[in-house]
Amino acid sequence: MPQPKISIRGLYKIFGADPAMALDLVRGGIGRQELLDGHRHVLALGGIDLDIAAGGIHVVMGLSGSGKSTLVRHINRLIEPTAGEIQIDGADILGLDGRALTDLRRRRVAMVFQRFALLPHRTVAENISYGLSVRGVDRARQTEAASRWITRVGLEGFDDHYPDQLSGGMQQRVGLARALATEPDILLMDEPFGALDPLIRTDMRAMLLGLQAELNKTIVFITHDLDEALAVGSRVSILREGRIEQTGDPEDIVLRPANDHVAEFVEDINRGRVLRVAAIMEPGSEAAGGLQIEADTVLEDAAHRLAAGGAERATVVDGAGQLLGTVRLERILQVMARPAAADN
Ligand SMILES: Nc1ncnc2c1ncn2[C@@H]1O[C@H](COP(=O)(O)OP(=O)(O)O)[C@@H](O)[C@H]1O
Ligand SMILES: [Mg+2]
């Protein structure tokens, strides 16, 4: 890939009284449980190598305690590593001194938290412009930015409300607007929708994807919810016990799980809503008759279209109508019904 936006190499984080000693034990091959039971240290991250491309939503997904928050908090150095390297735009961030670090957090990397973390005695507008006021931006520009972002996240008319007058979903819209108002290149989102009701969560995902289509930030999105990971991620990394088990696009994860653990995770996923025709079509230059389906159509919709049209095959085209290949209804149903056959 071109230079990654964020590059992480050999990252270890051990919590406890003597992390350096514990790191020697880990490098000597001691297990996570043994380190905890015998030496009272927690191996939170056990050697992470990860490249995050510019302009995508990179999801880190794993169960509670797998190290997701620890990992993401290294990127703005809320947590210092026990060992390893972290670069942003090819430049080391672990060597940054106090001032440069403050600059990184105020201008380049913003964070959205699960529990919103809004300032309770400030209004919606003041919360959103807070980052700009800290930076010394003049009042007029603060006000302009606040009202622009209030509109963008759909909170018109709530400028002067206080956080406790808002629902959870609205509070997180403020959290997102506050982060975006500082115009960062990188947005870190640590289970941002985890505290919200399912329906609201779906709305928030749609809003995030809509904003991202325009803004093209580099987003690191943490979740423990596989459906959410596959819905928002352009890339997905599966984290388990402080190690990355697989990184791939959503289709890779579902169709080609790297090991039994990932396979178990994706077993119950609704494949018809996650996988797209592009992943299972037969590439070629011959059309299959009247029915045309775009390559990014999810399988469930493609199956409906084929069934409704009484067709067994359809021609697959890209967004510009260019011929890409064909897809068979039988194949779609087969992949929707069970793990992809070995012929894939
Ligand atoms: N400050 C800390 N001190 C000791 N252990 C910690 C600390 N922070 C996290 N941990 C431990 O590190 C592991 C990873 O935690 P965390 O990154 O919060 O996981 P996740 O966000 O995936 O739920 C867990 O076992 C957790 O208990
Ligand atoms: Mg966490």
Tell me the three state secondary structure of residue 238: strand
Ligand 1 centre to CA of 255 (Å) is 30
Spatial distance between the Cα atoms of 269 and 251, rounded to a whole number of angstroms:
12
For residue 314, what are the β-bridge partners?
Answer: 327
pLDDT of residue 337: 85
Expressed in angstroms and rounded, the spacing between residue 289 Cα and the centre of ligand 2 is 50
* Centroid of ligand 2 to alpha carbon of 284 (angstroms): 45
* The amino acid at 154: G
CA distance 100 to 264: 43
223-243 residue pLDDT tens:
999 989 998 999 999 999 999
Q: What is the CATH topology of the domain spanning 272-337?
A: CBS domain Like (3.90.1280)
Regarding beta strands 57-61 and 83-88, do their DSSP bridges make them parallel or antiparallel, or are they unpaired? unpaired
Number of Cβ within a 10 Å radius of residue 197 = 12
The whole-angstrom separation of Cα 223 and Cα 59 is 7
Instruction: Provide residues with CB under 6 Å of ligand 1.
Output: 15, 42, 44, 62, 64-70
Q: What is the DSSP letter of 288?
A: -
Report the percent of the chain where pLDDT is more than 70. Answer: 98
Query: What local confidence, expressed as pLDDT, does residue 339 receive?
Result: 56
Write down the mean pLDDT value for the chain. 94
pLDDT average, residue stretch 65-87 = 97
For residue 338, pLDDT over 80 is answered with no
In angstroms, what is the span from residue 252 Cα to ligand 1's centroid?
Answer: 28
Given this model, what pLDDT does residue 341 score? 47
The ranges of the chain annotated as CATH 3.40.50.300 are 54-78+97-269
Task: Indicate the burial class of 54 (C-beta count within 10 angstroms; 0-12, 13-18, 19 or more).
Answer: middle
pLDDT in tens, 240-287: 999 999 999 998 999 899 999 999 988 888 889 889 999 999 999 888
152-199 pLDDT tens trace: 999 999 999 999 999 999 999 999 999 999 999 999 999 999 999 999
- Alpha-carbon distance 78 to 70, whole Å? 9
Strand ranges in the chain using DSSP code E only, listed in sequence order: 6-15, 42-52, 57-61, 83-88, 91-92, 109-112, 186-190, 218-223, 235-240, 243-248, 282-283, 292-294, 313-317, 323-328
Short-list 217, 210, 201, 205, CA closest to 58: 217
Q: Which residues pair with residue 57 across a beta bridge?
A: 219
Pair 280, 328: CB distance under 8 Å: no
Q: What's the CATH class of domain 54-78+97-269? A: alpha beta
Three-state DSSP at 43 gives: strand
Which residue's CA lies nearest to atom 1 of ligand 1? 15
For residue 71, give the ligand nearest its CA: 1
Q: Where in the chain are all domains bearing CATH 3.90.1280.20?
A: 272-337
Query: Which amino acid makes up residue 47?
Result: G
Pocket test for ligand 1, best of 11, 12, 14, 15 (most atoms within 8 A of CB): 15
| Rounded Cα–Cα distance for residues 266 and 271 (Å) | 9
Tokens representing residue 343 in the block: 């012929």
Q: In the predicted model, what is the mean pLDDT of residues 15-29?
A: 97
Mean of pLDDT values over 19-31: 96
Ligand 1: nearest atom to the Cα of 224: 22
Q: At what angle do helices 32-39 and 19-27 cross, to 10 degrees?
A: 140
Check: CB of residue 242 under 8 Å from CB of residue 46: yes
Q: Are β-strands 282-283 and 243-248 bridged in parallel, bridged antiparallel, or unpaired?
A: unpaired
Q: Answer yes or no: pTM beyond 0.85.
A: yes
Helix (H), strand (E) counts: the chain: 15, 14
